[in-house]
Structure 1
Amino acid sequence: MEFQYIVSDPEILSGKPIIKGSRISVQLILEWLASGASIKEIVEEFPHLPYEGVQEAVLYASRWMENEIIIETKVRA
């Protein structure tokens, strides 16, 4: 899937995925949402962010997590 609003540039935030035209990372969007902010509140606080871009940040993170592999290990005492 191609993302319209999410880009990654090694010159901006060390290549972290960001909302295009900003320095707002997908990670920061997720942190705001986890702390209780709504997408509407985020866009009101940062009016240069498109509502759809913030939505797409959540979708981007979800797609990235689809490929997560969890490996359980046991530590011997």
Structure 2
Amino acid sequence: MDQASWRNLLLMNQPIITCSPDILGGTPVFTGTRVPVQTLLDYLEGGETIDDFLEGFPTVKREQVIAFLEEAKARMVASAS
């Protein structure tokens, strides 16, 4: 199994987002970071790219961003059905 596959496997076994009163007062952040998920949404809403976001917040992994967006998409599709 290559390194990317191992990383994906690890991500599947942990939450994408963490909410803890000890981290930014419970603001939802990417797991293992102090980067609020809202920051990603603000970047995308402002016309920035995922690469721009990752450059500004190197503690967040691309796989986390993709997993978050895939989960958000799945929830939106499910709620529309």
- Regarding TM over 0.5, the answer is yes
After TM superposition, give the deviation of residue 21 of structure 1 in Å: 1.8
Runs of at least 5 residues in structure 1 that lack an aligned partner in the other structure: 69-77
% identity of equivalent residues = 32
User: Number of paired residues?
Assistant: 68
Residues 18, 24 of structure 1: 8 Å contact kept: yes
Taking structure 1 as the reference length, the TM-score comes to 0.63
Alpha carbon RMSD of aligned pairs, Å?
2.6
Compare relative contact order (CA 8 Å, sep 6+) and give the higher one, 1 or 2.
Answer: 1
The structure with the largest alpha-carbon Rg is 1
Aligned to 1:32: 43
**Alignment of structure 1 residues 8-23 onto 2, 5 Å:** 8-23=19-34
2:61 matched residue in structure 1: 50
Q: TM-score, normalised by structure 2?
A: 0.61
Structure 2's unaligned 5+ residue stretches are 1-12
| Structure with the bigger percentage of helix | 2
